[in-house]
Amino acid sequence: MLVYLVRRLGQSLLAIVAMAVLVFAGVYAIGNPVDVLINPEATQAEIAATMQRLGLDRPLYEQFGIFVMNALQGDLGTSFVYGRPALAIIMERLPATMELALVALFLSVAIGIPLGVWAGLRPDSIAGRTIMGGSILGFSLPNFWQGMLLILVFAVLLGWLPAGGRGETTEFLGLQVSFLTWDGLTHLILPAINLALFKMSLIIRLARANTREVSLQDYVKFARAKGLSGRRVVMVHILKNIMIPVVTIIGLELGSMVAFAIVTETVFAWPGMGKLLIDSINLLDRPVIVAYLMLTVLIIVSINLLVDVIYSLLDPRIRLSEMKG
């Protein structure tokens, strides 16, 4: 187990280093770092001071060392627009994005698994076919377009829910959250559905395929022959056995949800870090872009690592085959 952990940790570190090199290359080698990292409105003295601090007058490999040292200390530059450390600005926006992603994940699981199991038990029924047709639509509709339709129907035509923003927030475990106030909840529903739809389609398809396979197994037939209620067969015998692949996908998709939140946050003007990224790109606030990228890479790599470790605890075959390979 220790061998597997060390090996897997090494891969994660390698991924972070590789991304750091790419970001560094993108900023320092392709573009002119003076334009990228120093505010165009800075005075001559400020430019000189920043160049000194970032070591822009030194050779490239030394500059990379300084970049890494600064990044390790949490210094990813100062925002041109806000005049404050870029990382601090992003950290302020992180709770909003995490709240959105977690609520969306909850929705896609809570709706996706029952629908998928239902469709898997009765693949040829009208309900089963409708669910599958709906999931193809969920795959095909681009995310931002789904969001716009939701706004058009529920905010513009029906006027039931607000079209954007985060609404009233309240303190929960020291963080500002929306889902505990009524106003915040109404603001949260549409963006969360929008972010959830794609993953929901994925989970429906996965749960359906696995249910179809599992319900043909002998132990399911045997459970039925034993006279167990249909409810118990589904809840215990089938559900337990489809959860392993479903849980893996859920874990891996949480990371991509943080990235997909960029689109949802832009459509619904949700004040998370994805919206901050798009605003920063439009304002050419490059230190914030660099900080966003490094932080997101860290989040995604950590989630992937965590999922792999949990999965290897559940299924010894994984770590054994990895150790050999």
Cβ count near 299 (within 10 Å)? 19
Question: According to the binding rule CB under 8 A, does residue 155 interact with other proteins?
Answer: yes
Find the binding residues for other proteins in span 175-194 (CB under 8 A).
none
Determine the Cα–Cα distance for residues 196 and 33; give it in Å rounded to an integer: 39
Nearer to other proteins, 145 or 222 (CB): 145
Beta bridge partners of 176: 171
Question: According to the binding rule CB under 8 A, does residue 296 interact with other proteins?
Answer: yes
Nearer to other proteins, 11 or 176 (CB): 11
Question: According to the binding rule CB under 8 A, does residue 87 interact with other proteins?
Answer: no
Nearer to other proteins, 161 or 239 (CB): 161
Question: According to the binding rule CB under 8 A, does residue 94 interact with other proteins?
Answer: no
Question: According to the binding rule CB under 8 A, does residue 262 interact with other proteins?
Answer: yes
| Type of residue found at 323 | M
> Of the ranges 48-56, 59-67, 152-160, 199-207, which one interacts with other proteins (CB under 8 A)?
152-160
To the nearest whole angstrom, how small is the minimum distance from the Cβ of residue 260 to other proteins? 7
Alpha carbon of residue 286 to chain centroid: 22
When binding is defined by CB under 8 A, the residue of 6, 13, 175, 278 that contacts other proteins is 278
> Of the ranges 166-174, 180-188, 211-219, 277-285, which one interacts with other proteins (CB under 8 A)?
277-285
Question: According to the binding rule CB under 8 A, does residue 156 interact with other proteins?
Answer: yes
What are the two backbone dihedrals, phi and then psi, of residue 215, each rounded to the nearest 5 degrees?
A: -70, -5
Interior angle at CA 21, CA 322 and CA 271, nearest 5: 95
> Is 249 in contact with 203 (CB distance < 8 Å)?
yes
Nearer to other proteins, 157 or 225 (CB): 157
Find the binding residues for other proteins in span 23-42 (CB under 8 A).
23, 26-27, 30-31
Question: According to the binding rule CB under 8 A, does residue 20 interact with other proteins?
Answer: no
When binding is defined by CB under 8 A, the residue of 301, 307, 312, 319 that contacts other proteins is 301
Which tokens go with 35? 């334009």
Helix (H) or strand (E) holding 16: helix 2-24
To the nearest whole angstrom, how small is the minimum distance from the Cβ of residue 236 to other proteins? 31
Q: Where are any strands of DSSP class E within 164-246?
A: 170-172, 175-177
DSSP 58-122: S-HHHHHHHHHHHHHTT---B-TTT-SBHHHHHHHHHHHHHHHHHHHHHHHHHHHHHHHHHHHHS
Q: How many residues sit close enough to other proteins to count as binding (CB under 8 A)?
A: 43
- What residues have CB less than 8 Å from 74, skipping those under 6 apart? 85, 87
> Of the ranges 40-48, 115-123, 167-175, 297-305, which one interacts with other proteins (CB under 8 A)?
297-305
Determine the Cα–Cα distance for residues 91 and 123; give it in Å rounded to an integer: 46
Q: Which residues bind other proteins (CB under 8 A)?
A: 14-15, 18-19, 23, 26-27, 30-31, 136-137, 139-145, 148-149, 151-152, 155-156, 163, 255-256, 259-260, 262-263, 266, 277-278, 281-282, 289, 293, 296-297, 300-301, 304
